[in-house]
Structure 1
Amino acid sequence: MSATKVDNEITGRLALITGASGGIGAACARDLALHGVRLALTYSTNQSAVQTLQEELQSRFAGLETSTHQCDIAQEGDLKRLFEEVKAKHGHHPDILFANAGYGKRIPHILDLTLAEWDYTLTCNLRSAFILTQLALPHMLAQTWGRIIYNSSIAAGGTSINGCHYSASKAGIQGLSKNLAAKMGRSGVTFNDIAPAMITGTGMIPSEEDLMGTPGDPRGIPVGRSGRPEECANVVTMVCRTGYMTGQSLLISGGLK
């Protein structure tokens, strides 16, 4: 039996990054741009931030093809429109999908959770990942090459400064990723998730001050500090460039379990 062709080249590929207006999404855009990846970047409400990022990238990388798109990940219609816009702008659907955008209102105790909050969290984090995957796969399967990366969390294993709603949504993402990796291993498309923990410089955790006195207090992290969005971006790029890796959940936690 002949070996499957190895193709880990990402230069010239098109990446769709949801939630690219700041934090991990913006850091991933910068790192992929370094490797010559074309970019479709989404935002929900912060249009100015993603436009500033686009201007920065176009200034740093002459000729880099980028686009920005407004999208509410809780709305199926918005996600479908997003893919139509990406194809109209770039000529095809993405080769790389980083399903990064998510939602997590910090409500630690189950008795303080409303059903509406539970449903909205699962809609934003898990349902949107499912829809994005369905939309992205036909193009990837047709060319027998694709990379799908989900932004999960250490919370998927139960460790969290947030509540059970958030943990359940992130555990669902990991299950989705591992199932697809096992079933579609020979398709040329890989499925992995990154599982960050205590990453500051993000909308959820702006600074280490926001972690003091919580289970994510930097004083209790083995490396003694919080993580940075750029460190998550390093891992996302590595996954894009490593077709032999699929079905993995990559914990970026400074040693937290």
Structure 2
Amino acid sequence: MVVDNEIKGRLALVTGASGGTHNNLRIGAACSRDLHAYGTRLALTYSTNKDSLDNLVAELLKQSKDLKISTHQCDVAKEADLQRLFDEVKHEHGQHPDILVANAGYGKRVSNILDIALEEWDYTINVNLRSSFILTKLAVPHMLEQHWGRIVYITSIAAGGTSINGCHYSASKAGVQGMSKNLANKMSKDGITFNDVAPAMITGTGMIPSEENLKGTPGDVKNIPVGRSGHTTECANVVTMLCRTGYMTGQSILLSGGLK
């Protein structure tokens, strides 16, 4: 069997890449930068922050004008938007993505179950879990056809129950991890790998600007074995690694500096 782990020239779809105030947006921008550095073409989505994504694209094009980058407005909570996204990607690039980084997410910090409205539960599950299912279902046919694909989900340490957020957020991320492991078991022989990266205490984002914001919480750096918070670029490094190896699948990588 020929081993093909080359991602140069491949097309990567990164959702939530605008680099806005939410943790995942900054992580999405970092993933876009790292994949671009390895020679991938990019299809990047934003929900409302178009200016921020345009700035990212301008930055990347200064580094290489030879790699095509397309941008797409998409509310991942809406199935019609996700279908339109794939239609637009096919129109722009002549194909569907070889790599899917399902990064766009939502997490309003409500800790007590008694304070979590049913509407909040439904919306969180919709954005974090249902959209990941729809994106995967749209991405898989092209990957099956060419017998090559990489799907990476951005989850959270919260999937294991450890979270300053509530059970709705933990449940949504745990659902993504379960889906990823199930699909890896069923489809990896078809040349498609499924993995997730579960970050924790990532600073340099709108949600956690600096380590000062972690003081007095379970994520205080004094509780993190490596003695510091994580960086969005470190999330991107792991995502790219997962894209560059076909021998790792069905794994959930906890990126937390040793925090459990």
TM-score (norm 1): 0.97
Structure 1 residue aligned with 2:257: 254
Is the Cα–Cα contact under 8 Å of residues 221 and 254 in structure 1 kept in the other structure?
yes
Q: One-letter code of the match for 2:50?
A: Q
Tell me the residue number matched to 1:72.
75
- How far did residue 204 of structure 1 move? 3.1
C-alpha deviations, 1:125-160, integer Å up to 9, x for none? 000000000000000000000000000111000011
2: CA distance between counterparts of 1:121 and 1:26? Answer: 22
CA distance in 2, matches of 1:212, 1:114: 28
Partner of 1:186: 189
CA distance in 1, matches of 2:83, 2:150: 19
Give the drift of 1:211. 1.7
1:210 Cα offset (Å):
2.4
In 2, Cα distance between equivalents of 1:205 and 1:131: 29
Among candidates 6, 9, 15, match of residue 6 of structure 2:
9
2:56 paired residue among 53, 63, 77: 53
Alignment of 1:122 onto 2:138: no
**Deviation of the 1:220 alpha carbon:** 1.1
- Give how far 1:205 is off: 2.3
Structure 1's unaligned 5+ residue stretches are: none
Q: How far, CA to CA, are the matches of 1:115 and 1:13 in structure 2?
A: 41
Tell me the residue number matched to 2:89: 86
Alignment match, 2:215: 212
Instruction: Output the amino acid matched with 2:229.
Output: S
Residue from 90, 103, 106 that aligns with 2:106: 103
Name structure 2 gaps, 5 residues minimum: 20-25
TM-fit CA distance, 1:213: 1.5
How far does residue 209 in structure 1 lie from its aligned partner after superposition? 2.6
- Runs of 4+ that moved beyond 6 A: none
TM-score normalised by L of structure 2: 0.96
| Mapped contact 1:104–1:204 kept (Cα < 8 A) | no
Q: SS where residue 13 of structure 2 aligns?
A: strand
For the residues of structure 2 that align with 1:191 and 1:160, how far apart are their CA atoms?
A: 24
- Aligned partner of 1:244 in structure 2 is 247
Alignment of 1:137 onto 2:140: yes
Matching residue of 2:236 = 233
* Counterparts of 1:220 and 1:14, CA distance in 2: 39
Counterpart residue identity of residue 135, structure 1: L
Counterpart code for 1:68: T
Equivalenced residue count is 254
Name the residue aligned to 1:171. 174
Match of 1:200 in 2: 203
- For 1:20, give the aligned amino acid: A
SS in 1 for 2:203: coil
Structure 1 Cα separation of the partners of residues 191 and 27 of structure 2: 26
Q: 1:113 aligns with which of 90, 113, 116?
A: 116
Identity of aligned pairs, percent? 72
